Chain A
Amino acid sequence: MTYDVIVVGAGPAGSSAALMAARAGLSVVLLERGPYPGSKNVYGGVVYGRVLDDVLPGWWEEVPVQRWVTRRSTMVLTGTQALTVDFRSGAWGQAPYNGCTTLRSDFDGWLAGKAVEAGAQLVTSTVATGLIREAGRVVGVRTDRPDGDLRATVVIAADGVNSLLAKELGLLPKTDPKHLTLGVKEVLSLPKDVIDERFGVRGEEGVDVEILGCTRGIAGGGFVYTNRDTLSVGVVVSVDGLAKSEVRPEQLVADLKAHPAIAPWVQGAEVKEYSAHLIPEGGYDHLPQLHAPGFLLTGDAAGLCLAAGIWLEGVNFAIGSGLAAGRAAAAHVLGGAELSSYRKDLESSFVLQDHKRLRKAPALVLSDRVQQRYPQLIADLVEGLFTVTNPTAKPGAISLLRGAAKRNGVKLRHLAADGLAGGRTFR
């Protein structure tokens, strides 16, 4: 069979690419190795849908939402302490909304359905086992179906973080444990009214909690997201750090659930599903080459997850890059434009602008002091501020900071340097 475009992987990137290519009138096949879109996919929990406004107007009326995130908390945990910065917005609970929790088996299927409505052919339970190449150009894929070779003018690889197709072309290194993290998640069942009560929300309102300092010093963090009648709770840790720690991943999730600040939220909840997935967190400085003759790389396969501390976004970057890949493929097939227009398109959109601006964030966020020293330092400082020391007079804030820094092995010049680096990184 011959198509204009083969898209490998019906996740958010692949379905977005298929949608744009099909809308441009191209013949498109969308391959998915799982029995349904989303069946191989795991994420934390939140989709930020603004990227869909232009392509699927009013998407929020029909997206398979669990809850709309109206409350965001950032927590710093130590063994016995917790500091939370908590923000709520009424605006996020109304159209056009900001972010929603959704499950990937629902969301990915919904988005793939949009590609199918636009004319793409979705073929599930089919693995693209390799590329067909002729004269230095990708001209198709081999599949594990009988007589399964498919040919196309453009192959779009949206085959995820392990992209075997990009590795076959040498665009991705075979292994890269320093720039990958492992996400481990439990979905926990609780009645909706119990979740509403414990998290202080109502109706379709939901909460997004990001956590630093809960991973035994292994670079990473934790999360809690509210779904309708489940919670998604888990940790994300550096693959390299995890391997060296010899700590088992589910033990880190158990630690988080047992923390005095988290345990009351998850008390009595039953594990509904346990899951794990790799995340590409290298950022802009470790992006692969995004195109080759006849070939485009998009979504996680292209390393386009934004892991920048307070911003942890992936699905929106997958969609943004997938849409651009679909547009580039259409311009190539219909007008003979170079596939390199894909990179230029991404550079002019939020996808690479955000990544470029925050290129130093992954290293800073995962650095030793941020991970291993600052959570305790900050918690000690705040505990010092709020502990009433009568009859001794209150210590000054600077004195408390000096004491907390000293106890945690941090020199004030390091604090100043990291503060400056943070300022530059997030400017």
Chain B
Amino acid sequence: MTWDGISFEDRMETVEFRVGERPHIVVDSDICRSCTTKACVTACPANLFAPTSDGGILFNYEQCFECGTCYQVCDSDGALSWTYPDGGHGVVFRSG
């Protein structure tokens, strides 16, 4: 996916992440299968939610901005458990 001459991968390469061992967001893909909107897939600014062929959601916590958009748009109670990464980990903005 390319917009504006920069691939999404290159766009995300501009951001520093100090990836922690513990996934701070956990997706219950079983619940996602019954979700018809899957708004997280388009709304997540880091594009971390990928629909799977069986109707579920695959989530990668490693490049998360910790913004909270995913749980704000999630229609399915319990599908997302959302916490902050452990102290000192996660996104590190330099020019926020």
Could you tell me which A residues sit within 8 Å of B by CB distance? 33-35, 38-43, 103-105, 124-127, 129, 143-145, 161-162, 164, 174-177, 180, 182, 184-185, 187, 227, 230, 232, 239-240, 242-251, 253-254, 257-258, 271-278
Chain A contacts for B86, CB-based, 8 A:
127, 144
B31 at the interface (CB under 8 A from A): no
New A-B contacts (9) at CB < 8 Å, excluding given A239-B43, A244-B39, A277-B67? A33-B84, A40-B91, A125-B88, A143-B87, A144-B86, A164-B84, A230-B95, A243-B73, A246-B42
Expressed in whole angstroms, the Cα–Cα distance for A124 and B92 within the complex equals 13
A315 to chain B, nearest CB (A): 12
Q: Which 8 A-B pairs have the closest CB atoms?
A: A125-B88, A276-B45, A254-B3, A254-B4, A243-B39, A42-B96, A243-B73, A104-B96
**B12, A239: Cβ atoms closer than 8 Å:** no
Quick check: A105 and B12 within 8 Å, CB to CB?
no
Q: Which residues of B contact A250 (CB under 8 A)?
A: 3, 8, 11, 45, 47
- Contact: A275 with B93, CB < 8 Å? yes
Q: Interface of chain A, helix or strand or loop or mixed?
A: mixed
Task: Report Cα–Cα, A38/B12, bound state, in Å.
Answer: 19
Docked Cα-Cα span, A239 to B88, in Å, equals: 27
The answer to whether B15 touches A184, judged by C-beta atoms less than 8 angstroms apart, is no
A–B complex contacts, Cβ < 8 Å, 20 sampled: A40-B91, A103-B94, A103-B95, A103-B96, A124-B87, A127-B87, A144-B86, A162-B66, A176-B72, A184-B45, A185-B96, A230-B95, A243-B37, A243-B43, A249-B43, A257-B4, A258-B4, A273-B94, A275-B95, A277-B96
Chain B nearest CB from A258 CB (Å) reads 7
Cross-chain contact A35 with B88 (CB below 8 angstroms): yes
Task: Let me know if B65 is at the binding interface, CB within 8 A.
Answer: yes
Establish whether residues B11 and A271, one from each chain, have CB atoms under 8 Å apart when the complex forms.
yes
Instruction: Among B10, B37, B46, B73, find the residue whose CB has the most chain A CB atoms closer than 10 A.
Output: B73
The contact of A38 among B8, B66, B96, by CB within 8 Å, is B96
Q: Is the CB of B87 within 8 A of A145?
A: yes
Which of chain A's residues has its CB closest to B2's CB?
Answer: A254
Query: How far is B49's CA from A246's CA once the two chains are assembled, in angstroms?
Result: 13
Given known contacts A40-B66, A182-B45, A250-B45, is B73 in contact with A239 (CB within 8 Å)? yes
B55 contacts chain A at the CB level, 8 A cutoff: no
Evaluate whether A274 and B68 lie within 8 angstroms (CB atoms) in the complex, with A39-B93, A104-B93 already known: no
Contacts of B6 in A (CB 8 A): 271
Which residues of B (42-89) have their CB < 8 Å from a CB of A?
A: 42-43, 45-47, 65-69, 71-74, 83-88
Task: Tell me if A278 and B68 are in contact (CB < 8 A).
Answer: yes
Check A127–B84 contact: CB distance below 8 A.
yes
Are B84 and A274 in contact, CB atoms less than 8 angstroms apart?
no
Closest Cβ–Cβ distance, residue B26 to chain A (whole Å): 15
Are B88 and A275 in contact, with the CB atoms below 8 A?
A: no
B14 at the interface (CB under 8 A from A): yes
